[in-house]
Structures are given as structure tokens and as C-alpha cells.
Structure 1
Amino acid sequence: MEKRFKVWIYKEGEPPIVHDGPGASIYAIEGHFMSEMEGKTSPFVARHPAEAHAFFLPFSVVNIVHFFYRPKANGYWEHMKRLIADYIDVIADKHPYWKRSLGADHFMVSCHGWAPPLSHANPELYQNSIRVICNANTSEGFKLGKDVTLPEVHLSDGLLSQPPRDQLHTERTTLAFFAGGSHGYIRQMLLHHWKGKDTEVVVHEYLPKGTSYGELMRKSKFCLCPSGYEVASPRIVESIFMGCVPVIISVDYPLPFSDVLDWSKFSVQIPVEKIPEIKTTLQGISERQYQVLRRRVLLVQRHFVLHRPAKRYDLMHMVLHSIWLRRLNVRVSYLPERNIRFLETKMM
């Protein structure tokens, strides 16, 4: 992939709606991906569209929502969708590549929770294009083998960070830890059963004053990562950073980079209905099994680190690799006698 994969980035449009995105907050990956691709150092950027394997649509859903969402205004939803539809119409009218593939070799990148419904702005964007999104919910139209799960990376101040060193020797005295708001039914269920009720499964809705979130993660064997209002959670990346084995509690959520990473080897997945049995489940994991999981968490850390510029095997390269795999699986066929193009997708 590193030697062959080339991406053409459309030049049309102006910031902040196009060619710009957030560099901080839970949506940070959207802006950093765009900035990395539009910088001068990426080896994946095509010099000419004719040599490209994939085409990047660099519009920012986060900025569209920020600048055009008005809760009390009428028609704001359709207005936001119209912005995306008009942008794609400009691309399709000006260049031959969208119509040539029905959008199948094009991709968008967004971490905003509204990215999936706003992608309905263009039927081919939703149906054919590769949607690289954090809110990867299969019950809401996320398509396995076509779309890509984008890890949610929380950069509160926009500054990049590295996993702490010497994590194998960190003293971990807490069995499991979670702190977070009561967002969505999964967290509500978790808080109902465990908030303030156990000294080994430590669950807070709000951390006590003077308590360090990061330190509590570093002192825990397992870090609970329940979905909130959306299926994605930045806690998955945070726990991997802290060398804490992630315990994933979600529904209809394909985990990031599952094409190449076997999450069962370095995480624990607990069904929502088993939330009352969290302690029993985790205590059933032997110390030897836990140490294997933990070492594997440290091995996969490099795949969740965000570098600028990007480095081999880091988060940015992993996302591009996921796009590359999906591009390999798409072939556009043409029936000249009927002037019809159709897609053939080989599911992974």
C-alpha cells in the first residue's frame, strides 16, 4: 500500500466548510486527517487525478454543523444536506471521476455523529462511496466491507500525545474503572448497576474533585468503554494508550481496523444484558490471561497513536489502509449497449 496507494484531493471549495476541520475535541481526527492529507509530506497524495486509486471529498461535517445548525430555525437539516449535495454536484460536473465510478472510489471522513444521516444528501455518496466515520452503527446504515470505522480520538487542547512509558510495571489495583455522563441507555444501565456500589468495579458519573482520570485508568486492569448517545467512544483509544485492557460494551459497532486486528486478543467484549455480571466476568479472567491481554494492548498501541506527519503503522496509516482494502474490493462494470454502469463489491 505505501508504495502504490494514491489519493487525489479535490481542490474545489473554500474553508471552513471544505479543506478545514477541527483539530481539538472528540472530533479532532476529522481535522487532523484532512490537514495531514492536504499537507506537503504525505506520500499518498496523487500529483494528478489520473494516477489516483481513490478520491477524497474534503468537506467537514463538524464545520457544516457548527456554522449552519440553528436549533430553532426551520429547514436547517435540509440546508446542511444541500451544502453537501451541491458540493458533490460541482465535483461531478467538473470532473469525470465521480460519474465514472458512481462515487465508489470516493471517500469522506468525519467523526461527527451526524455524518451518517447527512451522507444521505447524495444517494451515491450514501450507497456507493466509502464513508470513513466514527459513528459506525450497522443498524443505521453502516455497511461492512464498504465503510470504515474511524477511531474517536479526544484531543481536548489539540495537542498530540504519546502512551506513557513503563506500563508493564504499573501497579494496577483496581479491577475495572469508568467515569462518564449518563449518555444513552447503555451508560444509564451501567451507572444504575455499578455507580458507587463496588470498590473493585469503580464507576463514577462525575469524578470526585482532585481525582485524575488518567491516573485512575493507569491503576485499573480493565477500563469500561460503553457506548454513549453514539456507538463510538474515545475511551477505547484512551484505555489502549494507558495500557488498560478495554472492555467494550456496545451494540452494532464494528471495531476499528478489524480487517487486520483481532480485538478478541487484546480486549474484552461484554453484551449489554451482561452489565450486571461485569465483576463476575472480569474476575473469571485468570491473571495469566490478563497479562497476555495487557501485553497485546501494548503491542497494538502504535496503531492508535496520531503522528504529524504520519508514520508507518500509526493511526493515520491504519485508516488509509482500511480505505485501500475497500477500494480493492470495488469494481465498476459498464454495459455499453444499455449505457449502464453498475458496481460489483467483493465483501471482505
Structure 2
Amino acid sequence: MNKQLQTKLVRFLTDQEEWKRSGGRDHVILAHHPNSMLDARMKLWPCMFILSDFGRYPPNVANVEKDVIAPYKHVVRTFVNDSAGYDDRPTLLYFKGAIYRKAGGIIRQELFYLLRDEKDVEFSFGTVLKNGIRQASNGMHSSKFCLNIAGDTPSSNRLFDAIVSHCVPVIVSDDIELPYEDVLDYSEFCIFVRASDAVKKGFLMKLLRSITKEQWTQMWERLKEVEGYFEFQFPSHKGDAVQMIWQAIARKRSSCLSCSTFHASCPLSQSNLTAPLQL
């Protein structure tokens, strides 16, 4: 049934005059889950996709030039009125989630065996079932750093859970693309570690223990400033995730229209769309 519905969707869209006019290059399609429209995506690639990452897309179908990366909706509760600074968070590093993954996520089990016996580290299996979300929320709220490790695809909602928990994300995912990366400097509130370095014995712990209280506090303060960009709200409010995604779409469109020569991958090449995008 899923395949049949996708086939009908492709047929419906490509039959429309609006699609024929531009070949789909002025269309925007939300396909945020990594498995969204597995069949249809191969035929709808001229459009602009809104995605969580490019992990399951060939580069000719989705790429950073034409598509928009949007955040996951966070699962844990937002840390409201957070005064839990450096000394109030006893756990140095926190991870709770699925440990055994495939593809790029194999690194999770390597890190588990490296870190499970480290002092001040909580690295354990967890799910959203039963009290899993509440436990994860409490764990992130009481931790200085939160591990964000590649899973079956480069990204996961865990990064955005960490952001709204004001737990400094430690990103171990070499191929990750981040939301609003063209306007937001993630190095101000995240730590990036190459996978090849992360699996070296002692490397990660030495790095995190070298970060001073003052450095951590600067990142913690910045997390509280940017967390609103990752909040999905209805109705939408200025500066929330919905508005940030529309602005990212507008920047892609503006970039395409300002090019002297359109590229084949551009979502608006050969388009006669001239009116400004309404946000």
C-alpha cells in the first residue's frame, strides 16, 4: 500500500500544470524522516526537500546546494528556568539510547566499551518506553556534556534533546549536516569530534576534562540563547523552528535567483517564480 500511495503521489504531482511549468524545481516537499518516500524521492528530486539529513539519499537526489536540513522535534522536556550550571551537573558525559546500530552507527558500541567504566560517565541502553523519556530528561539536565553519536543515519533527535536540556552536545558523526548551518555557528555551543579520534582510548575523556568551567559556561549560556530555534510551535512564533525553516527556504531561493547561471541541481532553475516568498 505504501508503494502504491507513493506511485499515485508522483503521478498526481507530475500531472499538475505547476509541476510541468518548472519540472518541480519550484516545489518544496517535506520528507523529514529518513525513510520518507523511499520510492517517490527518486522521481521527485528536482524539488527542494526538507530533510533530517542526507544519510539515505544519493547526492544527485538530495544535497546541500538545493535542500534544507530541519531539526527533529525534541523528545525530552525543555529545561525551563535552568540555573543548573557547571557545579550543579554531577555527570560529566551522558548517553542513553540504542547501542547496537548498523552502518555508521557501529561506532556506538565501540564507544560503549571504551566509556562504560569511566568515572562520571553514564553510557547505557535506553528507549522511549515506560519511563525512558523522563529518565533521559533527568539525565541530560544533570550532565555537562551529552554524546550525539551517528545512528543508522548521521543525525538523531538526541542532538536536539541535548540542546533544549542545555547539555553541551558532543557530536561524533563525520557526515552530519546541521539545521541553519549557514547562519548558526554550532562551534559556539557544541563539541565536534572525528569518529577516528573518538575511538582512541582516552582521547574523548581527556578532551572533555580539558574544557574549563568558564569555557563550558559560555557554551551553556549560548545553548539557552539558541534553543528557541529548535522549538516547533503552533501557531508559529518569531524565531522558532517553523520560522527558521521558512527562512532557510527563502535563502536557498534567493541564492538560486541571484546566480548568473542556474545549476541543474538548483530547485528554482528555469522557474518563472518571481514573487517574494511570504514568510
How far off is 1:101 after superposition?
A: 1.9
Q: Is 1:92 the equivalent of 2:8? A: no
> What is the rounded CA distance, in whole Å, between the counterparts of 2:220 and 2:206 in structure 1?
19
Q: Is contact 2:96–2:125 with CA below 8 Å preserved after alignment?
A: yes
Q: Is contact 1:306–1:316 with CA below 8 Å preserved after alignment?
A: yes
Change (3 A) 1:189 1:97: same
Q: Is contact 2:230–2:241 with CA below 8 Å preserved after alignment?
A: yes
Q: Is 1:243 the equivalent of 2:169? A: no
Q: Corresponding residue for 1:288?
A: 214
How far off is 1:87 after superposition?
A: 1.9
Of structures 1 and 2, the one scoring higher in RCO (CA 8 A, sep 6+) is 2
Does the residue aligned with 2:179 lie in a helix, a strand or coil?
coil
The TM-score normalised by the length of structure 1 is 0.65
How far off is 1:86 after superposition?
A: 3.2
Q: Which one-letter code corresponds to 2:89 in the other structure?
A: R
Q: Is contact 1:217–1:244 with CA below 8 Å preserved after alignment?
A: yes
Q: Is contact 1:148–1:322 with CA below 8 Å preserved after alignment?
A: yes
> What is the rounded CA distance, in whole Å, between the counterparts of 1:269 and 1:248 in structure 2?
5
Give the one of 55, 67, 82 matched to 1:147.
Answer: 67
> What is the rounded CA distance, in whole Å, between the counterparts of 1:163 and 1:315 in structure 2?
17
Q: Is 1:257 the equivalent of 2:173? A: no
Q: Which one-letter code corresponds to 1:287 in the other structure?
A: K
Change (3 A) 1:282 1:119: farther
Does the residue aligned with 1:280 lie in a helix, a strand or coil?
helix
> What are the Cα deviations for residues 78-122 of structure 1, in whole angstroms up to 9, with x where unaligned?
xx2x5334323323323x221222211111112322237434441
Could you say what the CA RMSD is over the residues aligned between the two structures, in angstroms? 2.9
Does the residue aligned with 2:39 lie in a helix, a strand or coil?
helix
Gaps of 5+ in 1: 1-66, 69-79, 334-340
Q: Is contact 1:247–1:267 with CA below 8 Å preserved after alignment?
A: yes
Give the one of 318, 326, 330 matched to 2:256.
Answer: 330
Q: Is contact 1:101–1:332 with CA below 8 Å preserved after alignment?
A: no
Change (3 A) 1:162 1:289: closer
How far off is 1:325 after superposition?
A: 1.3
Give the one of 135, 140, 143 matched to 1:217.
Answer: 140
Q: Corresponding residue for 2:53?
A: 135
> What is the rounded CA distance, in whole Å, between the counterparts of 2:23 and 2:256 in structure 1?
11
> What is the rounded CA distance, in whole Å, between the counterparts of 1:190 and 1:222 in structure 2?
15
Does the residue aligned with 2:94 lie in a helix, a strand or coil?
strand
> What is the rounded CA distance, in whole Å, between the counterparts of 1:203 and 1:252 in structure 2?
23
Q: Which one-letter code corresponds to 2:48 in the other structure?
A: I
Does the residue aligned with 1:239 lie in a helix, a strand or coil?
helix
Gaps of 5+ in 2: 268-279
Give the one of 285, 289, 305 matched to 2:231.
Answer: 305
Give the one of 151, 156, 162 matched to 1:228.
Answer: 151
> What is the rounded CA distance, in whole Å, between the counterparts of 2:114 and 2:20 in structure 1?
53
How far off is 1:269 after superposition?
A: 0.8
Q: Corresponding residue for 1:32?
A: none
Change (3 A) 1:294 1:308: same
> What is the rounded CA distance, in whole Å, between the counterparts of 2:257 and 2:56 in structure 1?
23
Change (3 A) 1:285 1:118: farther
Q: Corresponding residue for 1:113?
A: 34
Give the one of 91, 98, 113 matched to 1:192.
Answer: 113
Q: Is 1:165 the equivalent of 2:81? A: yes
The TM-score normalised by the length of structure 2 is 0.80
